[in-house]
């Protein structure tokens, strides 16, 4: 599938798996020098794929199996394994993303347009769901700010709104009114411009699977997972705070900000600890970190704000 995007090569072709698996050792070991020192075609090909990032955690990623079979994607059903069973029917060929609102160059972008001249990076991020489970996910993507720079954000823009595809023929979940479809999300513009905020198009060294939000989804690692909207078809720059699906469904439970915060409980459960998927039935829960451990990068965005009120 990725072949259409770049040079007729799939990511699985350009990044031999053993090399990918070595990369973390390479990075945490002698760093870039060792990476550059790799011999032969593997080196050039690896650089073609995605480069490593200083924003990655060195915690061990969850397995591909865990990441692709334990999902929240309510359009495909509310069970954790519903998305992996049902999302295969979604056709992402010819996917288009409309970018509009307060931008200089509104328009409709194909995945080729979006990925042209875009440097892909590996971003190994912690993911903390509002339901108090967590994973480590090795995304492949690029900074949202790169795309926003290409469309030209106008000075009146203060927020970015996102919308997921609504495909009733292949999405069994949208026939139930669990949420008001389509799924929508939003960020303040400065949150959207933060270098941690990415649009992911890959997972491990493959195009992102449908159940994880193919072909392009948001990842905002310091916020609860529901902010990280999947299968995006529209991005709109707005002056006013846009509506967001979970906030509309239950405003007392899900705020607009949704920053990971161990001190602010969900009305029905504590957010102080989390269960790491794959850690085993009897594993101890681990403490949840403020901003999911990304406070050094993002706490400044909220200085002076009461995060218990703006939850």
Closest CB 302 distance from ligand MTE, rounded Å = 21
Pull the structure tokens for residue 50. 């995605």
3-state secondary structure at position 112: helix
Q: Which is closer to ligand MTE, CB of 50 or CB of 229?
A: 229
Cα–Cα distances (Å) from 267 to 204, 250, 289, 305, in that order, read: 35, 11, 19, 21
- Shortest distance in whole angstroms from residue 212 CB to ligand MTE: 4
Q: Footprint of ligand MTE on residues 32-71 (CB under 6 A)?
A: 71
The residues in 183-242 that bind ligand MTE, with binding defined as CB under 6 A, are 183, 212-213, 225-226, 228-230
185 torsion bin: left (phi>0), alpha (psi -120 to 50), beta (else): beta
Our CB check for ligand MTE shows the closer of 15 and 164 to be: 164
In what helix (H) or strand (E) does residue 298 lie, and over which residues does it extend?
A: helix 295-298
Tokens (6 digits) for 205: 């060294």
* Residue 105, SS3 per DSSP: coil
Report which DSSP code applies to 272.
Answer: S
Closer CB to ligand MTE, 75 or 121, in the complex: 75
Count residues contacting ligand MTE (CB under 6 A)?
Answer: 16
Site string for ligand MTE, 124-163 (x = CB under 6 A): ---x-x----------------------------------
Q: H/E element holding 22?
A: helix 17-28
How many other CB atoms sit within 10 Å of the CB of residue 193?
17
Q: How far apart, in whole angstroms, are the C-alpha atoms of residue 302 and residue 104? A: 28
Residue nearest to ligand MTE (CB): 225
CB of 63 to ligand MTE, least distance (A): 13
Residues of this chain, 91-130, that bind ligand MTE according to CB under 6 A = 127, 129
Comparing CB distances to ligand MTE, the nearer of 35 and 185 is 185
Give the nearer residue to ligand MTE in terms of CB position, either 103 or 129.
129
Cβ contact 102:90 at 8 Å: no
Q: Report the alpha-carbon distance of residue 182 to residue 302 in Å, rounded.
A: 29
Give the footprint of ligand MTE on residues 68-97 (CB under 6 A): 71-75
- Residues in contact with ligand MTE by the rule CB under 6 A: 71-75, 127, 129, 164, 183, 212-213, 225-226, 228-230
């Amino acid at each position: 599938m990725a072949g259409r995007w770049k040079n007729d090569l799939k990511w699985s072709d350009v990044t031999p798996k053993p090399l990918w698996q070595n990369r973390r050792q390479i990075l945490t070991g002698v760093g870039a020098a060792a990476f550059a020192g790799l011999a032969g075609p593997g080196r050039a090909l690896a650089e073609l794929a995605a480069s490593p990032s200083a924003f990655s955690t060195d915690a061990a990623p969850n397995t591909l199996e865990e990441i692709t079979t334990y999902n929240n994607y309510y359009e495909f059903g509310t069970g954790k394994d519903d998305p992996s069973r049902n999302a295969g029917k979604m056709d992402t060929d010819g996917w288009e993303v409309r970018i509009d609102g307060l931008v200089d160059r509104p328009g409709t972008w194909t995945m080729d347009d979006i990925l042209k001249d875009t440097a892909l990076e590996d971003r190994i991020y912690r993911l903390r769901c509002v339901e108090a489970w967590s994973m480590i996910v090795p995304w492949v993507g690029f900074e949202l700010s790169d795309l926003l720079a290409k469309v030209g954000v106008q000075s009146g823009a203060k927020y970015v709104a996102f919308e997921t595809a609504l495909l009733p023929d292949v999405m069994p979940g949208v026939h139930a009114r669990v949420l008001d479809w389509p799924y929508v999300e939003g960020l303040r513009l400065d949150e959207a411009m933060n270098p941690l905020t990415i649009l992911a198009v890959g997972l491990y060294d493959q195009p992102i699977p449908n159940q994880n939000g193919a072909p392009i989804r948001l990842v905002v690692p310091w916020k609860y997972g529901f902010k990280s909207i999947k299968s995006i078809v529209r991005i709109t720059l707005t002056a006013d705070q846009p509506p967001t699906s979970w906030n509309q469904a239950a405003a007392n439970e899900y705020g607009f900000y949704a920053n990971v915060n161990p001190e602010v409980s969900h009305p029905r459960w504590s957010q102080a600890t989390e269960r790491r998927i794959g850690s085993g039935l009897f594993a101890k829960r681990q403490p949840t970190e403020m901003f999911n451990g990304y406070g050094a990068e993002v706490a400044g965005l909220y200085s002076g704000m009461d995060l218990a009120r703006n939850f």
